């Protein structure tokens, strides 16, 4: 009688362990992983206007001058390994300036590309009245690390969104923590960390929506991902295996006791 009661208790304990395992091994749900959700329980992010990128120290600028004075243009291009179509690349120094041929250094750090273009063009017009300047950022890239791929990727359009950036890097893995996406961003001489939940629809047109040159996007692994299954088939297999294991152990113990 005692042995039977003991075995009954052991069986109950085994079932409890199975149910705990089921609880920990719950599947991923659409609410956990889907984007553009309207749930009231999610954060509500305010709208924010798109800000033009401002030039930073160590940025690389592609510079090109056009003019009817072809000799002057050839002088500027002389000694450069870049083709005339690519332009010449110049680095922004620590003091925020770039050195250009035939004119004094121009301070461009903190300016938008358009403002810097106008400032440089004014300098060259002092020498060649019909000079036209074309300026672009050479290092238009962002970095992704973590559960959404790893690498450095080009920004192929001016207003590139967080969704486009992550799609280009290889999308967020099921194990990725969508609640705590982080963006490391340089701004006004400082580095800030933006953290947000990417699931709510209000991310669109918020301050988290657009990606800027030199951004670093980090997607960490979800802490509970170790216990979760990708689908219900996997979960069912886990439950079946657990039941089979404990049934075998119970039967083996019972036979030995008899």
What is the tens place of the pLDDT at every residue in 8-23? 555 555 555 555 545 5
* DSSP structure class, residue 140: -
Q: Are residues 178 and 217 in the same domain?
A: yes
Q: Are residues 86 and 211 in the same domain?
A: no
**CA-closest candidate to residue 67, choices 6, 125, 13:** 125
Packing angle, helices 232-257 and 2-24, rounded to 10: 170
How distant is the alpha carbon of residue 202 from its chain centre? 18
Residue 29: partners with Cβ closer than 8 Å, 6 or more residues away: none
Distances (CA, A) of 108 to 149, 187, 210: 34, 15, 23
Global pTM reads: 0.74
Q: Are residues 165 and 201 in the same domain?
A: yes
d(CA 58, CA 43): 36
What CATH number does residue 116 fall under?
A: 3.30.1950.10
Residue where a domain stops, chosen among 87, 106, 137: 137
**pLDDT tens-place string over residues 174-206:** 999 999 999 999 987 789 999 999 999 999 999
Instruction: Identify whether the C-beta of residue 73 lies closer than 8 Å to the C-beta of residue 99.
Output: no
Range of the domain at 9: 2-27+229-257
Q: Are residues 144 and 220 in the same domain?
A: yes
How do beta strands 151-154 and 141-146 pair? antiparallel
Residue bearing tokens 């152990």:
249
At 77 the pLDDT is: 74
Q: Are residues 167 and 41 in the same domain?
A: yes
d(CA 49, CA 207): 8
**pLDDT tens-place string over residues 80-137:** 544 444 567 899 999 999 999 889 999 999 999 999 999 999 999 999 999 999 999 9
**CA-closest candidate to residue 45, choices 238, 200, 228:** 200
Q: What's the number of domains the chain is made of?
A: 3
Q: How many C-beta atoms surround the C-beta of residue 80 within 10 A?
A: 14
What CATH number does residue 185 fall under?
A: 3.10.560.10
Residue where a domain stops, chosen among 137, 153, 185: 137
How do beta strands 97-98 and 106-107 pair? antiparallel
**pLDDT tens-place string over residues 200-233:** 999 999 999 999 999 999 999 998 644 454 554 5
């Amino acid at each position: 009688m005692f042995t039977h009661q003991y075995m009954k208790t052991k069986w109950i304990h085994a079932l409890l362990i199975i149910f705990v395992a089921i609880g920990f091994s719950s599947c991923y749900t659409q609410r956990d992983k889907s984007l553009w959700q309207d749930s009231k329980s999610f954060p509500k992010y305010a709208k924010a206007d798109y800000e033009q990128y401002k030039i930073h120290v160590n940025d690389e600028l592609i510079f090109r001058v056009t003019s009817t004075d072809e000799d002057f243009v050839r002088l500027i291009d002389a000694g450069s390994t870049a083709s005339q179509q690519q332009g010449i690349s110049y680095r922004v120094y620590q003091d925020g300036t770039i050195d250009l041929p035939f004119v004094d250094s121009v301070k461009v750090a903190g300016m938008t590309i358009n403002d810097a273009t106008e400032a440089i063009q004014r300098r060259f017009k002092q020498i060649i009245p019909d000079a036209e300047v074309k300026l672009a950022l050479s290092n238009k890239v962002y970095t992704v690390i973590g559960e959404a791929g790893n690498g450095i990727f080009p920004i192929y359009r001016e207003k590139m969104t967080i969704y486009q950036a992550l799609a280009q890097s290889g999308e967020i893995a099921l194990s990725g923590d969508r609640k705590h996406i982080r963006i490391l961003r340089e701004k006004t001489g400082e580095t800030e960390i933006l953290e947000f939940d990417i699931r709510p629809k209000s991310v669109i047109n918020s301050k988290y929506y657009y990606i800027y040159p030199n951004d670093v996007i980090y997607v960490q692994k979800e802490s509970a991902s170790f216990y979760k299954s990708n689908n219900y088939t996997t979960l069912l297999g886990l439950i079946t295996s657990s039941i089979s294991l404990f049934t075998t152990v119970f039967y083996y113990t019972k036979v030995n006791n008899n």
